[in-house]
Structure 1
Amino acid sequence: MSTQETKIALITGGSRGLGKNAALKIAQQGHDVIFTYNSKKTEAEEVVREIEALGRKAMALQLDVGNSKSFEAFAKQVHSALKQTWSRDHFNFLVNNAGIGIHSPFAQTTEEQFDQLMNVHFKGVYFLTQKLLPIIADGGRIVNISTGLARFAIPGYSAYGAMKGAIEVLSRYMAKELGARGIAVNVVAPGAIHTDFTKDSFDSHPEMEKFISSQTALGRVGVADDIGGVIASLLSEDNRWINAQRIEVSGGMFL
Structure 2
Amino acid sequence: MTAQPTAVVTGANRGLGQSIALAFGRTGHRVIAAHRPGSDATETANLLRAENVCVLPWAIDVADAASHRDAVTSLRATLQAEWAVDRLDVLVNNAGIGAFARVDDVTPEALDALLATNLRGTFFLTQAMLPLLEGGGHVINISTSLTRHVSPATAVYAASKAAVETLSRSLAVELGPRGIRVNSVAPGPTATDFNGGAMRDDTALRAELAAHNALGRVGHASEIGDAVASLASHAMRWVTGERLEVSGGSFL
Same fold, TM-score > 0.5, yes or no: yes
- Equivalent positions of 1:163-178 (< 5 A) are 163-178=160-175
Q: Structure 1 counterpart of 2:32, which letter?
A: I
Partner of 1:247: 244
Structure 1 unaligned spans of 5+: none
1:167 Cα deviation from its structure 2 partner? 0.4
Partner of 2:23: 25
1:200 Cα deviation from its structure 2 partner? 4.3
Are residues 1:85 and 2:68 paired? no
Contact 2:88–2:133, Cα closer than 8 Å, also in 1? yes
**Alpha-carbon RMSD:** 1.5
Q: Structure 2 counterpart of 1:201, which letter?
A: A
Contact 1:82–1:91, Cα closer than 8 Å, also in 2? no
1:27 Cα deviation from its structure 2 partner? 0.7
Mapped partners of 1:186, 1:203: distance in 2: 27
Partner of 1:16: 14
User: Which string of whole-angstrom CA distances, capped at 9 and with x for unpartnered residues, describes residues 123-166 of structure 1?
Assistant: 00011100111112411111100001111110101110000000
1:66 Cα deviation from its structure 2 partner? 1.3
Partner of 2:51: 54
Partner of 2:176: 179
User: Which string of whole-angstrom CA distances, capped at 9 and with x for unpartnered residues, describes residues 96-116 of structure 1?
Assistant: 001112211112100001001
1:52 Cα deviation from its structure 2 partner? 2.0
From 202, 217, 221, the equivalent of 1:224 is 221
Contact 1:51–1:58, Cα closer than 8 Å, also in 2? yes
1:199 Cα deviation from its structure 2 partner? 3.6
Mapped partners of 1:240, 1:184: distance in 2: 8
Partner of 2:210: 213
Mapped partners of 1:112, 1:96: distance in 2: 22
Structure 1 consecutive aligned stretches of length 4 or more whose deviation exceeds 3 Å: 198-206
Contact 2:192–2:199, Cα closer than 8 Å, also in 1? no
With over 3 angstroms needed to count, the CA separation of the structure-2 counterparts of 1:75 and 1:151, relative to structure 1, is same
Number of equivalences: 250
Mapped partners of 1:148, 1:57: distance in 2: 32
Q: Percent identity?
A: 39
Contact 2:89–2:137, Cα closer than 8 Å, also in 1? yes
TM-score (norm 2): 0.95
Mapped partners of 2:163, 2:121: distance in 1: 12
